[in-house]
């Protein structure tokens, strides 16, 4: 049992999908798939930080807390804010596939920053949390969705700070996430992108990303298919993911509003209002035809971002 004198903080952070086609590095959508992390402050002199993880991908995670991304994010935020981290016992339960394009590293970074503030007895600054998560991740779209929930537009302000705006998501639109059985690190997926792109490609993506936000706000679901077409990243990443080209070439079908590579991949997300089973199987079949098994997940959009609880009783 936890001693009454020990403080324990738990954070629950949603998964996310980013880009949504044309919205490269600016659109993020939170998903009801979660990373939960509990930090118990150690009060005995000489205590050291310990980390334990269970759930998806836990067997491949480093055992040392110094190599754990959540703890590294805690330490990064503490260094930035100028406070000392106490020794903690970190217990993590993860539902988000690792290196799958569903925001696992962003969820870990956001969880770590939030736990750093909480263990130091400070209120979480969401502006700073987004900035630190971006500095850790290299981009803010997944982190923005993990922090705020719903559909989030992130942007860099003229002074270098990171901003985010949350939009409510229509509950009737669900997400089908299909994850092929390969790991694709974001660094590798970004390495295939060109340093420069044709102006007409950039303009088309600007038009379509603006259209996506407008279509969601106006409930013009008939426009989502066009709004999710991309010319900046998906075609370059197809060579890294067997079956992706065939998935993105799936024609419109009943209930399917749009398809996109999820973040840097390899997962693909479909937005749909009906026909969920058929759509999921159709996507998975393209991967399987390319020799890669795939996992289908039917997900709701997480309308809320990170949740923080203090001294919550342990579950039996």
pLDDT-based confidence at 189, cuts 50/70/90? very high
Question: Rounded to the nearest 5°, which phi and psi values hold at 227?
Answer: -65, -20
Residues 164 and 181 in one domain: no
- CATH number of the domain residue 109 falls in: 3.30.230.10
Instruction: Note whether residue 3 is domain-resident.
Output: no
- 53 pLDDT above the threshold of 70: yes
* Stretch among 40-44, 50-54, 196-200, 312-316 having the lowest mean pLDDT: 312-316
pLDDT of residue 314: 52
- 96 pLDDT above the threshold of 80: yes
Residues 185 and 133 in one domain: no
pLDDT of residue 3: 45
Mean pLDDT of 124-153: 94
Q: What is the C-alpha to C-alpha distance for residues 87 and 308, in angstroms, rounded to an integer? A: 19
- CATH number of the domain residue 289 falls in: 3.30.70.890
Q: What is the C-alpha to C-alpha distance for residues 144 and 163, in angstroms, rounded to an integer? A: 9
pLDDT-based confidence at 58, cuts 50/70/90? low
Residues 153 and 183 in one domain: no
Residues 244 and 256 in one domain: yes
Q: Which residues contact 297 (CB under 8 A, 6 or more apart)?
A: 33, 176, 177, 178, 179
**Residue 129: both structure tokens together:** 């949390």
pLDDT of residue 51: 78
Residues 199 and 147 in one domain: no
- 101 pLDDT above the threshold of 90: yes
pLDDT digits (tens, 9 = 90+) for 246-294: 999 999 999 999 999 999 999 999 999 999 999 999 999 999 999 999 9
Instruction: Note whether residue 1 is domain-resident.
Output: no
Residues 35 and 157 in one domain: yes
pLDDT digits (tens, 9 = 90+) for 198-241: 999 999 999 999 999 999 999 999 999 999 999 999 999 999 99
Residues 215 and 131 in one domain: no
- 28 pLDDT above the threshold of 50: yes
Percent of the chain clearing pLDDT 70 (strictly above): 93
pLDDT of residue 313: 47
Q: What is the C-alpha to C-alpha distance for residues 150 and 124, in angstroms, rounded to an integer? A: 19
Bridge-based pairing state of the strands 88-94 and 162-167 = unpaired
Q: What is the C-alpha to C-alpha distance for residues 230 and 2, in angstroms, rounded to an integer? A: 51
How close are the terminal C-alpha atoms of the chain, in Å? 11
As for how many domains the chain has, the answer is: 2
pLDDT of residue 1: 43
**Residue 119: both structure tokens together:** 């263990």
Bridge-based pairing state of the strands 88-94 and 50-55 = parallel
Residue indicated by tokens 């981009």: 139
Q: What is the C-alpha to C-alpha distance for residues 216 and 230, in angstroms, rounded to an integer? A: 17
Residues 135 and 205 in one domain: no
What CA dihedral angle connects 294, 300, 304 and 307, to 10 degrees?
Answer: -50
- Alpha-carbon separation of residue 182 from 48, 188, 241, 282, 292 (angstroms): 35, 13, 8, 18, 8
* Stretch among 3-12, 150-159, 217-226 having the lowest mean pLDDT: 3-12
Residues 152 and 186 in one domain: no
Q: What is the C-alpha to C-alpha distance for residues 42 and 44, in angstroms, rounded to an integer? A: 6
The domain in which residue 12 lies consists of 8-168+302-310
């Amino acid at each position: 049992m936890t001693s009454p004198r020990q403080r324990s903080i738990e954070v629950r952070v949603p998964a996310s999908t980013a880009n949504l086609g044309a919205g490269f590095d600016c659109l993020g959508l939170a998903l009801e798939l979660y990373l939960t992390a509990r930090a118990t402050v150690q009060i005995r002199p000489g205590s050291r930080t310990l980390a334990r993880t269970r759930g998806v991908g836990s067997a491949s995670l480093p055992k040392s807390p110094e190599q754990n991304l959540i703890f590294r994010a805690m330490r990064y935020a503490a260094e930035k804010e100028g406070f000392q981290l106490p020794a903690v016992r970190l217990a993590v339960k993860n539902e988000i596939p690792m290196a799958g394009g569903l925001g696992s590293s962003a969820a870990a970074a956001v969880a770590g920053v939030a736990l750093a503030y909480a263990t130091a007895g400070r209120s979480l600054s969401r502006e700073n949390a987004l900035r630190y998560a971006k500095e850790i991740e290299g981009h803010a779209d997944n982190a923005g969705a993990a922090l705020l929930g719903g559909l989030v537009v992130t942007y860099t302000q003229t002074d270098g700070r990171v901003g985010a705006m949350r939009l409510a998501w229509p509950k009737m639109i669900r997400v089908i996430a299909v994850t092929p059985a390969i790991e694709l690190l974001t660094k590798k997926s970004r390495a295939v992108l060109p340093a420069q792109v044709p102006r007409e490609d950039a303009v088309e993506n600007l038009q379509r990303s603006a259209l996506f936000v407008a279509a969601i706000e106006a409930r013009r679901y008939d426009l989502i298919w066009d709004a999710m077409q991309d010319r900046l990243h998906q075609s370059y990443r197809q060579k890294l993911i067997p079956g992706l080209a065939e998935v993105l070439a799936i024609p419109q079908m009943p209930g399917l509003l749009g398809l996109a590579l999820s973040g840097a991949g390899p997962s693909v997300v479909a937005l749909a209002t009906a026909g969920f089973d058929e759509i999921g199987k159709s996507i998975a079949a393209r991967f399987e035809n390319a020799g890669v098994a795939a996992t289908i997940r039917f997900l709701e959009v997480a309308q809320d971002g990170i949740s923080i609880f203090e001294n919550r009783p342990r579950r039996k």
